[in-house]
Amino acid sequence: MRELGEFGLIARMNAGRAQAPDVVLGPGDDAAVIAAPAGRYVVSADMLIQDRHFRLDWSSPREIGAKAIAQNAADVVAMGSAPSAFLVSLGCPADTTVEFIDGLVEGLWAEAGRAGGSIAGGDVVSAPLLVISVTAFGDPAGRPPVLRSGARPGDIVAVAGRLGWSAAGLAILSAGLDCESCPELVAAHRLPCPPYEAVLDLPRGTAVTAMTDVSDGLLADIGHIAESSGVAIDLDTGSVRDETLDHAAKLVDADPLAWALTGGEDHAFAATFAAGQQLPDGWRRVGRVGAGAGVTVDGRGWTGLVGWESFTGGG
Amino acid sequence: MRELGEFGLIARMNAGRAQAPDVVLGPGDDAAVIAAPAGRYVVSADMLIQDRHFRLDWSSPREIGAKAIAQNAADVVAMGSAPSAFLVSLGCPADTTVEFIDGLVEGLWAEAGRAGGSIAGGDVVSAPLLVISVTAFGDPAGRPPVLRSGARPGDIVAVAGRLGWSAAGLAILSAGLDCESCPELVAAHRLPCPPYEAVLDLPRGTAVTAMTDVSDGLLADIGHIAESSGVAIDLDTGSVRDETLDHAAKLVDADPLAWALTGGEDHAFAATFAAGQQLPDGWRRVGRVGAGAGVTVDGRGWTGLVGWESFTGGG
């Protein structure tokens, strides 16, 4: 890293890469230029800190890079928008190896491509620990943004993607268990796999009234929809039961339902659909919107830890 | 900070703030939505790390916040675009005081407003040291982007803004001198003041052929224009002489010309104008574009340190 220098590193990050169609001007000038065919664009930013959001002994460089993109792409997709480009600012120690950077960059580009975008630029600075800060850009693609505030009583609550797998994988790793005991959960923690297509392929005219990605846990994120929309939401535990979680929970003496309801970082999508709307491919019903306020589980209050919040949470 | 939590902190950052006109949807959902009336937009990102890009004993929280915005806004303006919005991702220790955050946020908003934009969202995470990552968005406002690659032999090289003041202020602080001996230089280091209006008020039709902001030092940044444009540039030392720098240089036994030519972080703007173009308000001539390659000073090679680069530089 010290040998490459900032400019050498940036050149290495972009060598041989093709930019996505919406990137009018990529890296190399003071700023990048992105197309906004809809006359507006969607933006979101997240920061990942070493030993807090990832651990070098638990994740490969490629997985860390892909995860950083995935969580930002999920925010853009949760607005109903198609990811177009990403900026990545990287803080890293001077003794970071070129192999590490190559792996990280490979992961950044791989997940950006899966989401439909490219790495259009960023910044590289020296820092005492790894910091990865990503901004994601999206094109509304002809749809008005799907906000958290549009849920109405009578709507169906549905989820696309996994719930609780990342949290379960983290518990397996934290307990020091052999990763082979639940390889799919450990993999889900190392590399979330947001089902972008479940949102981006929604047929035109689908009556989706509110949407968010599940980054802090289903209860917490559904709670944001309930609060923003001024409605109550009841979740049905029968619909979030998962045999894979049940199996892992026995190994580490945990509650699989707590993983499914409060585990963050899977970046599933949670949405509400108008009553009568047939659920599109990839979506499963997990609850119902009613009048009132707050989130209940099988008609009752949930007494466990709700979601995950920086500074006060357990993460 | 621990008491407020992530969501309380985000609420505090945005309470009572008015978004800029181009911000269609501000903080509070999965992502923000920004208008792009030109059908394209300009984006740039920079990361600031505590004790590398700022020191808590040398700068106030307000100055740190303003500096973080200024250096990003300058990148957008250097493309000839008008800043519209900023995303700010903040990593901070759990014991960070609310007073510190309030000052930082005040500085972020103040400089965003000076540049013509607002803080449209971001992220807050816990980190062992302060990390401030900013993404700036700009509207081309009817102009094609002014790239680094458009300089042609015969063009005039000109600068708007200060050169070397931030570097001189840093030298004064590093030497432990009384800040009162050169208060304007110390202030320039703590809070760069890019002359956005010198670019944004350029009369339509001004023949500006290439532009960049001076973040790494005039020689280095003019070098980027020379390289991208495939031209040679000769700078005239007579035009960058500065009595304020001369005075300070005597105090710390430094070379005032080295500050002016290689000092970074003032975020002046350097541009090339077609021969015969009368220089607009706020711009002064510092050199000339010729055929060939590389940057010379008074017709000769410069032998001092060229600019500032992460990992290999002196910063």
| Cα angle for residues B248, B254, B260 (degrees, 5° grid) | 75
Set of chain A residues whose Cβ sits within 8 Å of the Cβ of B47: 89-91, 123, 125, 127, 131, 133
* Secondary-structure class of domain B6-139 per CATH: alpha beta
Among the partner residues B31, B42, B79, nearest to A42 by beta-carbon distance: B31
Q: Taking a C-beta distance cutoff of 8 angstroms, is the pair A233, A296 a contact?
A: yes
Burial class (CB in 10 A: 0-12, 13-18, 19+), B277: middle
Inspect the interface and report whether the beta carbons of B30 and A148 lie closer than 8 Å. Answer: yes
CA distances from B63 to B9, B71, B108, B191 (A): 20, 12, 9, 6
Sheet containing strand A156-160, strands side by side: A208-214, A268-273, A156-160, A284-290, A232-235, A294-297
pLDDT digits 0-9 by tens, A185-244: 999 999 999 999 999 999 989 999 999 999 999 999 999 999 999 999 999 999 999 999
Confidence band, pLDDT 50/70/90 cuts, at residue A314: very low
Strands A284-290 and A268-273: unpaired
Topology (CATH level 3) of domain A155-301: Phosphoribosyl-aminoimidazole Synthetase; Chain A, domain 2 (3.90.650)
Inspect the interface and report whether the beta carbons of B42 and A53 lie closer than 8 Å. Answer: no
Matching CATH topology for A6-139 and A155-301?
no
Q: Taking a C-beta distance cutoff of 8 angstroms, is the pair B309, B244 a contact?
A: no
Set of chain B residues whose Cβ sits within 8 Å of the Cβ of A48: 125
Q: Which residue of A has its CA nearest to B50?
A: A127
Summarize the confidence of residues B287-307 as an average pLDDT: 87
Q: Taking a C-beta distance cutoff of 8 angstroms, is the pair A48, A131 a contact?
A: yes
Q: Taking a C-beta distance cutoff of 8 angstroms, is the pair B265, B167 a contact?
A: yes
Q: What is the DSSP string of A11-44?
A: HHHHTTPPPPTTEEE-SSSSSEEEE-TTSEEEEE
Inspect the interface and report whether the beta carbons of A30 and B129 lie closer than 8 Å. Answer: no
Q: Which SS3 state, helix, strand or coil, does residue B91 take?
A: strand
Inspect the interface and report whether the beta carbons of B45 and A133 lie closer than 8 Å. Answer: yes
Q: What pLDDT shows up at residue A270?
A: 98
pLDDT digits 0-9 by tens, B12-47: 777 788 999 999 998 888 999 999 999 999 999 999
Set of chain A residues whose Cβ sits within 8 Å of the Cβ of B49: 91, 125-128, 131
User: Tokens 């230089």 label which residue?
Assistant: B185
Distance from the Cα of B170 to chain A's closest Cα (Å) equals 19
Asked whether residue A255 is marked as a ligand-binding residue, the answer is no
**Gyration radius from chain A CA atoms:** 20
pLDDT over 60 at B307, yes or no? no
Q: Taking a C-beta distance cutoff of 8 angstroms, is the pair B248, B202 a contact?
A: no
B-interface mutation test, from A1, A12, A47, A72, most B Cβ less than 10 A away: A47
Asked whether residue A178 is marked as a ligand-binding residue, the answer is no
Q: Which SS3 state, helix, strand or coil, does residue A287 take?
A: strand
Asked whether residue A148 is marked as a ligand-binding residue, the answer is yes
Displacement of CA A107 from its chain's centroid (Å): 15
pLDDT over 80 at A256, yes or no? yes
Q: What pLDDT shows up at residue B224?
A: 95
Q: Which SS3 state, helix, strand or coil, does residue B181 take?
A: helix
Asked whether residue A53 is marked as a ligand-binding residue, the answer is yes
Distance from the Cα of B77 to chain A's closest Cα (Å) equals 9
Residue A214 CA to residue A188 CA, distance in Å, equals: 14
Set of chain B residues whose Cβ sits within 8 Å of the Cβ of A136: 31
Residue B47 CA to residue B304 CA, distance in Å, equals: 27
pLDDT over 80 at A1, yes or no? no
Ramachandran angles phi, psi of B234, nearest 5°: -115, 125
What residues does A234 pair with on adjacent strands? A288, A296
Asked whether residue A308 is marked as a ligand-binding residue, the answer is yes
Asked whether residue A51 is marked as a ligand-binding residue, the answer is no
Q: Taking a C-beta distance cutoff of 8 angstroms, is the pair A135, A200 a contact?
A: no
CB atoms within 10 A of CB B196: 24
**Lookup: tokens for A97:** 């190896």
Q: Which residue of A has its CA nearest to B125?
A: A310
Q: Report pTM.
A: 0.91
Domains of chain A by residue range: 6-139, 155-301
Distance from the Cα of B158 to chain A's closest Cα (Å) equals 17
Average pLDDT value for chain B: 91
Single out the residue of A205, A298, A265 nearest to residue A74, CA to CA.
A265
Query: How many CB pairs lie under 8 A apart between chains A and B?
Result: 236
Residue B61 CA to residue A4 CA, distance in Å, equals: 33
Burial code (b: 16+ CB inside 10 Å, e: under 16) for A134-160 equals: bbbbbbbeebebbbbbbbeeebbbbbb
Inspect the interface and report whether the beta carbons of B47 and A213 lie closer than 8 Å. Answer: no
- Cβ partners under 8 Å of residue A196, min gap 6: A73, A74, A77, A83, A114, A115, A116
Q: Which SS3 state, helix, strand or coil, does residue A106 take?
A: helix
Q: What pLDDT shows up at residue B306?
A: 61
Burial class (CB in 10 A: 0-12, 13-18, 19+), A266: buried
A-interface mutation test, from B10, B119, B133, B221, most A Cβ less than 10 A away: B133
**Lookup: tokens for B256:** 């005032």
What residues does A125 pair with on adjacent strands? A91
Inspect the interface and report whether the beta carbons of B90 and A7 lie closer than 8 Å. Answer: no
Predicted ipTM? 0.90
pLDDT digits 0-9 by tens, A102-136: 999 999 999 999 999 999 998 899 999 999 999 99
Q: What pLDDT shows up at residue A309?
A: 54
pLDDT digits 0-9 by tens, B67-88: 999 999 999 999 999 999 999 9
Set of chain A residues whose Cβ sits within 8 Å of the Cβ of B81: 31
pLDDT over 50 at B314, yes or no? no
Strands A268-273 and B118-126: unpaired
**Lookup: tokens for B309:** 């680069």
CB atoms within 10 A of CB A313: 17
Inspect the interface and report whether the beta carbons of B31 and A135 lie closer than 8 Å. Answer: no
